[in-house]
Structure 1
Amino acid sequence: MRASKYHINTLKEAPAEAEVASHQLMTRAGMIRKAAGGIYTYMPLGLKVLRKIENIVRQEMNSAGAIELLMPVVQPAELWVESGRWEQYGAELLRIKDRHQRDFVLQPTSEEVITDIARNEIHSWRQLPVNFYHIQTKFRDERRPRFGLMRGREFTMKDAYSFDRNEEAAQASYDAMFAAYMNIFQRLGLEFRAVAADTGSIGGSRSHEFQVIADTGEDLIVYNPDSQYAANIELAQAPCLIAQRGAPAEPLVKTPTPDAQKCEAVAELLQRPLADTVKSIVLATEPAEEGGQAALWLLLLRGDHELNEVKVGKLRGLDQGYRFATDDEIMRGFGCVPGYLGPIAPLEPIVIIADTTVANMSDFICGANTEGFHYTGVNWGRDLPEPQVADLRNVVAGDPDPQGGQLAIQRGIEVGHVFFLGDKYSKALQATFLETDGKPALMQMGCYGIGISRIAAAAIEQNHDDKGIIWPKAIAPFQAVICPMGFYKSETVRNAAESLYRQLQEQGVDVMLDDRDTRPGVMFADWELIGVPLRITVGDRGLKEGMIEFQQRRAGESANIPVEQALSHALEQLQSLR
């Protein structure tokens, strides 16, 4: 490709709403242009990146035995009503009507449509297993689209769906897709982790996220540097930090703590470690009968720990939905304003659940249910009944791993997710097949998604500097760029650049020849911004000495190579790049 025949339109400044590096740099590099909030046109350079990601994904999916089809963007509402998600999915599901006032959705995902295909196309155990996938535009009506392609409303995604006879076979299909995903992300040249994850709104019983490591990531990943353990913080089990509860050593004292509503303020006032304090969080569940009172739940965490709402949402009694209690409800249950609440003598029966670490604490500090006071020297069994115990908190860096070593935390960007769904959708849509005994059985399903456009953004979040993007070789819009100095002024430069350009093309290198009549500084700045992995500079001065300059975008150091070795050196350099 020649730059003079291509569309290159870089910008010096990013739009004001671009908050993260990928949004800023993709806009400045001319890869995307905003059409509306969270909706973008992929310009030629950006589309090249997407197509390269798609090709890697498609190759690995095909190698894993998946079969490509293409499902519609617009889906009939009756399928979503049948699955129960027409109402459950929420405002992110964009509901539309056609001219006949029939309901449709712009698909955010395709479980309903693929299950409908399966129940109409698959009739016998002989047709299983099968795995269908497609790469298609998706739409989720985000309340606040932001961060460019990281959290847009319209995006490109690959999703696959496996159908099996039984759970054992479905788990084998899951494992095959997990392996395919590992291959995909290794080929993309990204630093990533596969982490155990919560199944969320998709449902199912087994789930892994594929997280691209980046400091700007919204997700927190818990991992053990000395083992293979990794999990999303929502799912990571937080260990009890106290092996055995100590015997009481302090009397129970109601201690004045004026204007100290936070554990940090209480610890500072009493000159005690924050880890000696216990924070109280009050939740409410709606009454079973209309007109009844909401049931209250008191959750207890150590003062330096944070509540994990995903874990809480799985507790019996809270798994059907909960909310944070109102001030009026708290006053009803404790006779006190928030900030001084505790588990000793509430005004009405309240379910008390202590985090595993809190359950082993002794002589701790908690609210006294009286404004301006906390109890010190609180002990289970002596001062209040033994609580229910559950893992309620987020893991923190340095927590011990039960398997050995310490847990660490890093940020990541979710770009892929695999789920074992079981019969969640096949049961709802009655997707059955005839087993060997002639009786109908429900298909067991798996679901496997990859955010194609999000990978492009995540790759930039992980790979950039103050000059621009640093693409991994596999997904760069061009692998190499030849920058001639004075292309139209020097026949020697022009001939040398053209010759190397043709040779690289013959070797299958995706190379750009920048034949624009522009200043070297502008030319170099453009390609550093765009992030092409290898830059080859051809100039009169170098050619007089028989040399051509090579510079890797990531390493930044340049080297002069003899002209006769230019082709072999270019190929060696590209081979060495990740």
Structure 2
Amino acid sequence: MRMSQMVGRRIKEDPKDAKTVSHKFLIRGGYIRPVSAGIYSLLPLGQRIVAKIEAIIREEMNRIDGQEILMPVVLPAELWMESGRFQSVGQELLRFKDRNGKDMLLGMTHEEAVVQLARTELSSYKQLPVMLYQIQTKYRDEARPRAGMIRVREFTMKDAYSFHTDQASLDAYYRRAHEAYERIFQRLGMKNVLSIKANSGMMGGNVSHEFMAVCECGEDTIVCSPDYSYRANCEVAVADWQFEKGEPLPLEKVHTPGAHTIEEVAEFLNVPRSQTGKAVFYQDVGSGELIFALIRGDFEVNESKLANTALVPELKFAEDEAIRAVGCVPGFASPLAIDGTKVKIIVDRSAAESGNLVVGANEEDFHYKNFNCERDLAGVQYVVADIATVRAGDPCVGSGEPLQLTRGIEVGNIFQLGTKYSLPMGCNYLDQNGKSHPMVMGCYGIGVGRAMAAVLEQSNDEYGPIWPLSIAPYQVQLCALTPAKDNVGAAADRLYEALTAAGIEVLYDDRGEKAGSMFSDADLIGIPFRVILSPKTLADGEVEWKRRGEKESVRMKLEVVAACLKEQIAAEAKRFS
């Protein structure tokens, strides 16, 4: 491709709304252009990268016996009503009515659609296991799209779904899919990807893993032991917390004027935060049910753990009116003397297994000292669970080593769905005896555009991206300096044709720009190999050759350029095979 004909200009300045490296360079390099918030067009350079990512994904999905299909983006709501998700999923699901008044939606994921397909095509144990996958557009109505291609509203995803006769079959295939994902991210050139235990969220299922590209701009917090033997998303991470109750002391009501927060209460009573109990109120977004979380004052509530414990798909902080309606006083609340039938009370282990805590008295300007959960909540309905957020330095389960926190971009996820969708939607098979059973399912997703952005986040310098050869838009950038002088243009044309004939992907800068502008553009494009032809090099029958990201260049005879580059590319490609 000649740059004089290529669509997509380079931009000198960072976009004002771009906060991440990938967002800046994908815009500036001419890879993507915004259409609306969280919606982008791919320019030719971006489309070439995406096509290579998709090709690698297809190869690995076919390698584990996947069969490619294509399902619609627009889906009838009745399928999601069958699974129950039409009502339970929030505003991120874009719902609408067609011209006939029928409820429709834009698919943000395709479990229901693939189950509808499977139940029409699969009926016998002899057909299982099977895996179906697609690479398709999705739409998620994000409230706050950000970071360019990392969090968008419209995106391309590879989603795969496996169907099995039993859990053992799913377990075996799940391991194959996990290995395939490791190969995919290695072939894409990601430098540091961790497979971590994850929260299944709205997808459902009991077992799930996320693949996190370690990166400072990542939205997810990863909890790791120093040797990485323990890795988990902070939404599900646990620690080896040890608590002491001590000898229970008599419950004592004390006056705490104006002390609403844990910090104020601890300071007023001259006790550490670890000796206090914190009351946090939430409501189920769907039903409005009030949820009272009690946790020790030096911990924070993990809302994902809380939602899972409460069996609630989405939480919000409770309004003061709802808190008062169950007999609690905001700022001075506790589970003492309230009706457990009107509110779901969940007590974290830190509060249940610690003794003599300071908690609210459900009276303005008063607290209780020496609260002990088992004694003082006798007769009250409550659940004890781990709903605490792991902190840096907390002891690792097993090793006891201090846990570390890092950031990551979720580039893929895999779930064991079980019968969450097949059971309510009647996706069954007949066994050897003719008996019907629901199929056992797995689900496996990769965001294509997000993968492109994650690679860039891990492979760049101050001038632009440094693309791995496996997904680079082109393998070689040919720069012709002063093409109108000393026959440089004609020589560059011949070299371009020779490289192309040798099967090398070449982006040929034939625009005649000044050297500084040409090299700046080349850095923003980030192609792995660069060949420079100028009057100076041509006079010696040579070209200048260098790798993107390296300062040093070498000279190479013009007649051996194609052969040498082909050899270099083949050697480099082995790293990503």
In the superposition, the TM-score normalised over structure 2's length comes to 0.87
1:559 equivalent to 2:553? Answer yes
1:367 equivalent to 2:360? Answer yes
Corresponding residue number in structure 2 for 1:392: 387
The offset of 1:281, in angstroms, is 1.5
Corresponding residue number in structure 2 for 1:264: 263
CA contact (8 A) 2:216 2:408 kept: yes
Aligned mates of 1:103, 1:239 — CA distance in 2: 48
Aligned mates of 2:148, 2:319 — CA distance in 1: 36
Corresponding residue number in structure 2 for 1:436: 432
- Counterparts in 2 of 1:53 and 1:427: CA distance versus 1, 3 Å: same
Aligned mates of 1:508, 1:173 — CA distance in 2: 37
% identity of equivalent residues? 42
Aligned mates of 1:275, 1:310 — CA distance in 2: 23
The offset of 1:394, in angstroms, is 0.9
Aligned mates of 1:50, 1:39 — CA distance in 2: 16
Corresponding residue number in structure 1 for 2:297: 303
SS for the counterpart of 2:280 is strand
The offset of 1:459, in angstroms, is 2.3
- Counterparts in 2 of 1:128 and 1:353: CA distance versus 1, 3 Å: closer
* 147-156 or 59-68, larger mean C-alpha shift: 147-156
- Counterparts in 2 of 1:7 and 1:488: CA distance versus 1, 3 Å: farther
Corresponding residue number in structure 2 for 1:524: 519
Structure 2 counterpart of 1:340, one-letter code: F
Structure 2 counterpart of 1:277, one-letter code: T
Aligned mates of 1:287, 1:104 — CA distance in 2: 20
Corresponding residue number in structure 1 for 2:58: 58
Corresponding residue number in structure 2 for 1:68: 68
SS for the counterpart of 1:537 is strand
The offset of 1:363, in angstroms, is 4.8
Corresponding residue number in structure 2 for 1:534: 529
Q: How does 1:53-132 map to 2 (within 5 A)?
A: 53-132=53-132
Corresponding residue number in structure 1 for 2:139: 139
Corresponding residue number in structure 1 for 2:11: 11
The offset of 1:202, in angstroms, is 1.8
CA contact (8 A) 1:493 1:540 kept: no
1:21 equivalent to 2:21? Answer yes
Aligned mates of 2:227, 2:462 — CA distance in 1: 33
1:490 equivalent to 2:486? Answer yes
SS for the counterpart of 1:426 is coil
SS for the counterpart of 1:483 is strand
The offset of 1:395, in angstroms, is 0.8
In the alignment, structure 2 segments of 5+ residues that lack a partner are: none
- Counterparts in 2 of 1:347 and 1:394: CA distance versus 1, 3 Å: closer
CA contact (8 A) 2:480 2:488 kept: no
1:326 equivalent to 2:325? Answer no
* 175-184 or 135-144, larger mean C-alpha shift: 135-144
CA contact (8 A) 1:239 1:356 kept: no
CA contact (8 A) 1:422 1:446 kept: yes
- Counterparts in 2 of 1:489 and 1:274: CA distance versus 1, 3 Å: farther
The offset of 1:503, in angstroms, is 5.7
* 229-238 or 277-286, larger mean C-alpha shift: 277-286
CA contact (8 A) 1:238 1:394 kept: no
Aligned mates of 2:377, 2:100 — CA distance in 1: 65
Deviation per residue, 1:531-567 (Å, 9 max, x gap): 223333333345557764444333x422333437756
The offset of 1:55, in angstroms, is 0.6
Alignment match of 1:450 (pick from 443, 446, 451): 446
Aligned mates of 2:508, 2:225 — CA distance in 1: 46
- Counterparts in 2 of 1:241 and 1:519: CA distance versus 1, 3 Å: farther
SS for the counterpart of 2:4 is helix
- Counterparts in 2 of 1:4 and 1:322: CA distance versus 1, 3 Å: closer
- Counterparts in 2 of 1:365 and 1:571: CA distance versus 1, 3 Å: farther
Corresponding residue number in structure 2 for 1:341: 333
- Counterparts in 2 of 1:101 and 1:279: CA distance versus 1, 3 Å: closer
- Counterparts in 2 of 1:264 and 1:518: CA distance versus 1, 3 Å: same
CA contact (8 A) 2:224 2:231 kept: yes
- Counterparts in 2 of 1:251 and 1:527: CA distance versus 1, 3 Å: farther
Structure 1 counterpart of 2:59, one-letter code: Q
Corresponding residue number in structure 2 for 1:510: 505
1:278 equivalent to 2:277? Answer yes
The offset of 1:14, in angstroms, is 4.3
- Counterparts in 2 of 1:311 and 1:99: CA distance versus 1, 3 Å: closer
CA contact (8 A) 1:482 1:535 kept: yes
SS for the counterpart of 2:149 is helix
Structure 2 counterpart of 1:205, one-letter code: N
Q: How does 1:411-422 map to 2 (within 5 A)?
A: 411-422=407-418
The offset of 1:47, in angstroms, is 0.4
- Counterparts in 2 of 1:30 and 1:471: CA distance versus 1, 3 Å: same
* 252-261 or 79-88, larger mean C-alpha shift: 252-261
- Counterparts in 2 of 1:486 and 1:415: CA distance versus 1, 3 Å: same
Aligned mates of 1:572, 1:94 — CA distance in 2: 50
SS for the counterpart of 1:558 is coil
The offset of 1:96, in angstroms, is 4.1
* 503-512 or 472-481, larger mean C-alpha shift: 503-512
* 486-495 or 382-391, larger mean C-alpha shift: 382-391
The offset of 1:104, in angstroms, is 3.3
The offset of 1:123, in angstroms, is 2.5
Corresponding residue number in structure 2 for 1:291: none
1:225 equivalent to 2:226? Answer yes
Aligned mates of 2:458, 2:451 — CA distance in 1: 10
Corresponding residue number in structure 2 for 1:478: 474
SS for the counterpart of 1:86 is helix
Corresponding residue number in structure 1 for 2:351: 358
SS for the counterpart of 1:428 is coil
The offset of 1:521, in angstroms, is 1.0
Aligned mates of 2:298, 2:458 — CA distance in 1: 30
Aligned mates of 1:552, 1:201 — CA distance in 2: 45
1:164 equivalent to 2:164? Answer yes
Deviation per residue, 1:247-278 (Å, 9 max, x gap): 46x88665554443222344445555443433
* 61-70 or 500-509, larger mean C-alpha shift: 500-509
Corresponding residue number in structure 2 for 1:212: 213
SS for the counterpart of 2:416 is strand
Aligned mates of 1:106, 1:335 — CA distance in 2: 42
The offset of 1:511, in angstroms, is 2.7
Deviation per residue, 1:177-218 (Å, 9 max, x gap): 111111111111112111111211122222111122111111
Structure 1 counterpart of 2:452, one-letter code: A
The offset of 1:353, in angstroms, is 4.1
Deviation per residue, 1:357-381 (Å, 9 max, x gap): 3334345443344444445555566
- Counterparts in 2 of 1:539 and 1:252: CA distance versus 1, 3 Å: farther
CA contact (8 A) 1:480 1:512 kept: yes
The offset of 1:12, in angstroms, is 2.2
The offset of 1:131, in angstroms, is 0.9
The offset of 1:438, in angstroms, is 2.1
Structure 2 counterpart of 1:210, one-letter code: F
- Counterparts in 2 of 1:492 and 1:460: CA distance versus 1, 3 Å: closer
1:425 equivalent to 2:421? Answer yes
CA contact (8 A) 1:549 1:558 kept: no
CA contact (8 A) 1:485 1:520 kept: yes
Aligned mates of 1:110, 1:79 — CA distance in 2: 10
SS for the counterpart of 1:424 is coil
Aligned mates of 2:284, 2:44 — CA distance in 1: 52
CA contact (8 A) 2:112 2:421 kept: yes
Matched length: 566
The offset of 1:435, in angstroms, is 1.6
Structure 2 counterpart of 1:355, one-letter code: D
The offset of 1:452, in angstroms, is 0.8
In the alignment, structure 1 segments of 5+ residues that lack a partner are: 289-293
1:193 equivalent to 2:194? Answer yes
Structure 2 counterpart of 1:403, one-letter code: G
1:460 equivalent to 2:469? Answer no
Aligned mates of 1:452, 1:477 — CA distance in 2: 15
